Structure 1
Amino acid sequence: MPSPMQTRPRPLMSDLPLGNDPHSVRRRIEAMEILLERSFVLPGINRPVGLDALVGLVPVAGDIIGMAMGAYIVWEARNLGMPKWKLLRMAGNVAFDGVLGAVPVAGDLFDFLFRSNTRNLRIVKKHLDKHHPHTQVIDQ
């Protein structure tokens, strides 16, 4: 029986809305988080992995690229008008992931376990659910 992660349709980047309204921003952030943290499932251990962990395997440049992609989520959150303390917390998650992910070998394991983009998505969703409840989507 396939896991729920494997049966959920993945949004295509071309299907994402371009607007600045909260619903469009939410969909783009969710799509980026899926790309970075849950793109596919590793066989054998049945654990979702994304682009963040894969590019983290490339020394130095991979970690810089991973931080830049994580910073996109923070930038989108800034466009929502989120409070500065939440943005700083999100930026701290990205920086913590980038700095510890840069440590050879141990950093690759850390990238596999610490999901800064998922944490940041959780912060954004909590903000949107409180301030823009019409953007909530019921997952099936």
Structure 2
Amino acid sequence: MAQTRRIDPTIFDRLPLKRDPQSVRARVEAIERVMERAVVIPGINRPVGLDVMLGLVPVAGSFVGAVAGAYMLWEARNVGMSKLSMARMAGNVGVDWALGLIPGIGIVPDFFFRSNTRNLRLIRRHLDKHHPGTVTVER
């Protein structure tokens, strides 16, 4: 019989729930990692995330991916990104959503067109320029 496990109540202490730019950066990077690079496909060493896996679910998967992209857009608004940059981000999410709606081959564009990665790059560029204290060294 399976043993029930309780959620560690201290897990919520580690989540960056503040509205400061450093917390926003951490949340957006976590979303991008889950949506685009959660696991590596053996053999081809290509990272895929929840976005590709959700593409296997017709229509609904594309909407869930768009919701994650919309959350990144909302976070971009919270750190004061320009309307032009936010329009580019919305375009990335819209293209990913529309291509994901194609039945049967909707996961192929998700595999190659990584809208969340593109949007993370735009957010990082903004944070590096306007909030230099949030810059992190990548390994």
| Shared fold (TM-score, shorter chain, > 0.5) | yes
Q: In the superposition, relative to structure 1, how do residues 130 and 115 fare at CA in structure 2: closer, same or farther (>3 Å)?
A: same
Correspondence list, 1:14-93, <5 A = 15-93=14-92
Cα distance in 1 for partners of 2:15, 2:35 equals: 16
Cα distance in 2 for partners of 1:107, 1:122 equals: 24
Cα distance in 1 for partners of 2:86, 2:15 equals: 23
The percent of aligned pairs where both chains have the same amino acid is 57
**2:122 equivalent in structure 1:** 123
Structure 1 runs of 4+ aligned residues shifted over 6 Å read none
The Cα of 1:16 is off from its aligned counterpart by 2.7
Cα distance in 2 for partners of 1:16, 1:80 equals: 18
Cα distance in 1 for partners of 2:113, 2:12 equals: 25
Cα distance in 1 for partners of 2:26, 2:113 equals: 22
Q: Structure 1: where are the runs of 5+ without partners?
A: 1-11
1:94-115 Cα deviation digits (max 9, x unpaired): 0000001111222211111100
1:79-107 Cα deviation digits (max 9, x unpaired): 11111111111011000000011112222
Q: Structure 2: where are the runs of 5+ without partners?
A: 1-10
Cα distance in 1 for partners of 2:134, 2:49 equals: 25
Contact 2:59/2:100, CA 8 A, preserved across alignment: no
Who wins on radius of gyration, i.e. which is larger?
2
1:39-87 Cα deviation digits (max 9, x unpaired): 0101111100000110111001111111111111111111111111111
Cα distance in 2 for partners of 1:88, 1:59 equals: 26
TM-score w.r.t. the length of structure 2 is 0.88
Q: In the superposition, relative to structure 1, how do residues 14 and 89 fare at CA in structure 2: closer, same or farther (>3 Å)?
A: farther
Cα distance in 2 for partners of 1:31, 1:47 equals: 18
Range with greater deviation from structure 2 (87-96 or 104-113): 104-113
Range with greater deviation from structure 2 (68-77 or 99-108): 99-108
TM-score w.r.t. the length of structure 1 is 0.88
DSSP 3-state at the match of 2:47: strand
DSSP 3-state at the match of 2:106: helix
